[in-house]
Amino acid sequence: MCTYFVWIMSCTLVQYTYKYVEYVRRSTKRSRFEVGGGRSADSTCTQRKNHRPPIETKAAVADSSAPPRPASPSSLLSLSPSRRLLSSLQLSSPPNPNATDRLASPATRMADSDGGEANAPPPVLHRRPPRPRSGSAVAEGFASALRRRLSSGAAAAARASFAADSGDDSASGEPSSSRRRGGSNGEASSAAGGGEDFAAFTFRAAAPVHRKARESPLSSAAIFKQSHAGLFNLCIVVLVAVNSRLIIENIMKYGFLIRPGFWFNAKSLRDWPLLMCCLSLPAFPLGSFAVEKLVFNNLITDAVATCLHIILSTAEIVYPVLVILKCDSAVLSGFLLMYIACIVWLKLVSFAHTNHDIRQLTLGSKKVDNELSIADMDNLQPPTLGSLIYFMMAPTLCYQPSYPRTSCVRKGWLIRQIILYIIFTGLQGFIIEQYINPIVVNSQHPLKGGLLNAIETVLKLSVPNVYLWLCMFYAYFHLWLNILAEILRFGDREFYKDWWNARTIDEYWRKWNMPVHKWVVRHIYFPCMRNGISKEVAVLISFSVSAILHEICIGVPCRILKFWAVLGIMQQIPLIILTAYLKSKFKDTMVGNMIFWFFFCIYGQPMCVLLYYHDVMNRIEKAR
């Protein structure tokens, strides 16, 4: 019954509203034909007949610039329903001085000339869309009038307020209706209805909600335009929760496996030959410097100097290999010695090759195509002992007579980096002893056991291996190399790029290890291209040199020759072709990045760890 009564009252209110809108339309149309601003007899009679007083008085027209005063609740209740609706609509629309001046300008001019009170300006009426009559043309006119109303200032302000409440950002830059009115009106609106006027058309049921075509946030056309910070936080929370469970499970199962003698114990004294070999490695750079002094002083020929450099660099890499194979040393000690020996070998090659090229440009007849800058001319100088010592200590593998330098050493920053380096180094030892070692010891050879068992072991080992790899990257490439650069005031500290965003394997190798990448490009790839070798063959040669160095660093300390590292490096050439094809075929895809993460972290590195560990254990068992 209450619903039926409300429905009857709504229909009556709508009927009265349309009648009053029609009256306003007719009275406005007649006011356009009034002469001199005075009212005709017909209009006066019509107004007396309908007993409809003007909506605004002359005082209101004269003070049209002031903001409208809000009507009190008692005065609104005393009005008829149609007048009450019109008053609420007038309150929802801000004053428009342009419209007031446009309607009142003829009357104002006549009033200035005659000075009579009979020439008063017509009342300013807030026009509403006319009531639609029968016929499509009338309905079309009503729709156009409605669109004009929606484009007015009050509707725009209401849409902005509605957008803020509904989450629609299409009108976020428009001010709200309460801010547009401001002053006492804004305070009254805040006191009455929380600061918003919900009588505007935008807040009605007839207002359109769907105004333009939009994509879902997770659709392919809009997924990369959204912010995924919340999902990233969710991944972090899940990662912390899962790994916390794994840590607790590992401690409950094995206890704390880290030992005080992990880094140094009584057995480490057996590795003193490796330490003496490491301390004697600087003799080879001094021998290379002596050769360069002889050739720059024209005491020996360039061909003899090249032969001497080949002998020195070969002896430098063979000498540590013989020491490791003759001594019963630990794997970790042998790995550190071979790692340092490979770095020295790379620096010797760069030192000899760069000075050979400098001699050809300064003393020979070879010329370059482009003009040299002042910085390039400064680097075409003979080597000095100071430049050689700085190069052997600097965090770079490419020799040049001078490097960009910083102005000072930041002592506080350096201390913080050293502390972080110690923390991450200890964290690597903890991961190895607490997680990787139990998994590897309790595993089987991946090529001799069952397939499912091998897959389960690789997946179990992949999680701590990823953590170890990331800690190693941050501790060495970021902390250690920056510590050396800060002590030596080395300016160029681009030791890595954003390799984690690599979409191809080739892009990863160009961003992962910048010192090695620059060395390979400068001393292998570009010389091959200058000598007429094709690009594919030059890439194959570069990967072959990298694979041999990886095998020497890993296979020699383990005292086995299985070529697992060579096989792992060379298998990346088909992956380079595959990921390059995917990148060219699908421009915006990250499939290549997923392939990189899978083959490096989930499959490649855990598999190599298992293969080398079981081969070392088999060698030890056979020796016993």
**Nearest partner of 132 among 120, 140, 123, judged by Cα:** 140
pLDDT of residue 12: 57
CB-CB neighbours of 330 under 10 Å: 16
- Whether residue 526 is found in the same domain as residue 597: yes
Does residue 315 share a domain with residue 288? yes
What pLDDT band is residue 51 in, cutting at 50, 70 and 90?
A: very low
Among 112, 128, 144, the domain-final residue is: 128
Q: Is the pLDDT of residue 379 over 60?
A: yes
Same domain for 117 and 11, yes or no, is: yes
Are 551 and 544 in contact by the 8 Å Cβ rule? The answer is no
Q: Are residues 54 and 122 in the same domain?
A: yes
With respect to residue 329, please indicate whether it lies within any of the assigned structural domains: yes
**Token representation of residue 520:** 């390979």
Q: Of 87, 112, 128, which residue constitutes the final position of a domain?
A: 128
Nearest to 175 by CA among 148, 205, 155, 204: 155
Q: Residue 157's pLDDT is what?
A: 56
* pLDDT given for residue 162 in this prediction: 53
Tens of pLDDT, residue by residue over 234-290, are 888 988 888 888 888 878 877 777 666 555 556 666 778 888 888 999 999 999 999
Q: What is the structure's pLDDT at 259? A: 67
Residue 553 to residue 317: CA distance in whole angstroms: 11
In a domain, 319, yes or no: yes
Which residue is associated with the tokens 């729709």?
143
Residue 327, pLDDT > 90, answer: no
On whether both 520 and 619 belong to a single domain, the answer is yes
Q: What pLDDT, on the 0 to 100 scale, is given for residue 310?
A: 93
Same domain assignment for residues 287 and 325: yes
Are residues 308 and 250 part of one domain?
no
In whole angstroms, give the CA distance from residue 614 to residue 621: 10
Q: Are residues 314 and 253 in the same domain?
A: no
Residue 575 has pLDDT above 80, yes or no: yes
Place of tokens 């030192």: 351
34: pLDDT strictly greater than 80? no
Residue 293 pLDDT exceeds 50: yes
Nearest-angstrom CA–CA distance, 109 and 114: 9
Count of structural domains within the chain: 6
Residue 490 lies in a domain: no
Comparing 80 with 280, the larger pLDDT belongs to: 280
State the catalytic residues. 550
Q: How far from chain centre, in Å, is Cα 315? A: 47
pLDDT value at residue 115: 44
44: left (phi over 0), alpha (psi -120 to 50) or beta: alpha
Q: Does some domain include residue 219?
A: no
**576 lies in some domain:** yes
> Phi, psi at residue 405, to the nearest 5°?
-125, 150
Per-residue model confidence (pLDDT) at position 502: 84
The residue-averaged pLDDT of 151-156 equals: 56
Confidence of residue 191 (pLDDT cuts 50, 70, 90): very low
- SS3 for 520-559 is HHHHHHHHHHHCCCCHHHHHHHHHHHHHHHHHHHHHHHHC
Return the bridge partners of 490, or none. 405
pLDDT over threshold 90, residue 347 = yes
Give a yes or no: residue 220 inside a domain: no
Task: Indicate whether 138 pLDDT > 90.
Answer: no
Residue by residue, DSSP assigns 400-432 as -S---B-SS--HHHHHHHHHHHHHHHHHHHHHI
511: nearest Cα among 501, 496, 525 = 496
Which long-range contacts link 201-207 to residues 24+ away (Cβ below 8 Å)? 201/149, 201/150, 201/155, 201/158, 202/150, 202/155, 202/158, 202/159, 202/161, 202/162, 203/158, 203/162, 207/162
What residues form DSSP beta bridges with 211? Answer: none
Helix, strand or coil, per DSSP, at residue 1: coil
pLDDT in tens, 389-438: 999 999 999 999 888 999 999 999 999 999 999 999 988 888 888 888 88
Say yes or no to pLDDT of 57 above 50.
no
Place of tokens 């003698």: 261
What SS3 class is residue 328? Answer: coil
Alpha-carbon torsion (405, 407, 412, 413), positive or negative: negative
Residues 531 and 460 in one domain: no
102 plus 163 within the same structural domain: no
396 within domain boundaries: yes
Helix (H, G, I), strand (E, B) or coil at 490: strand
Residues 508 and 567 both lie in one domain: yes
| C-alpha to C-alpha distances, 551 to 120, 207, 291, 564, nearest whole angstrom | 103, 73, 30, 8
CA distance 618 to 448: 13
pLDDT band at 624 (very low <50, low <70, confident <90, very high): low
Choosing from 79, 103, 128, the residue where a domain stops is 128
Under 8 Å CB-to-CB from 124, ≥6 apart: which residues?
55, 56, 60, 61, 64, 99, 100, 103, 104
Q: How is residue 524 written in tokens?
A: 């292998």
The owner of tokens 């500290």 is 493
Domain residues for the domain of 155 are 135-212
Whose tokens are 């994509």? That residue is: 215
List, in sequence order, the alpha helices (H) in 194-265: 229-254
% helix, strand, coil for the chain, step of 5: 70, 0, 30
Average pLDDT score, the chain: 73
Question: Do the domain assignments include residue 217?
Answer: no
Q: What is the mean pLDDT of residues 164-180?
A: 45
Residue 562 CA to residue 237 CA, distance in Å, equals 42
Of 132, 128, 196, 131, nearest to 164 by C-alpha is: 196
How many residues does this entry show for the chain?
624
User: Do residues 317 and 435 both lie within one domain?
Assistant: no
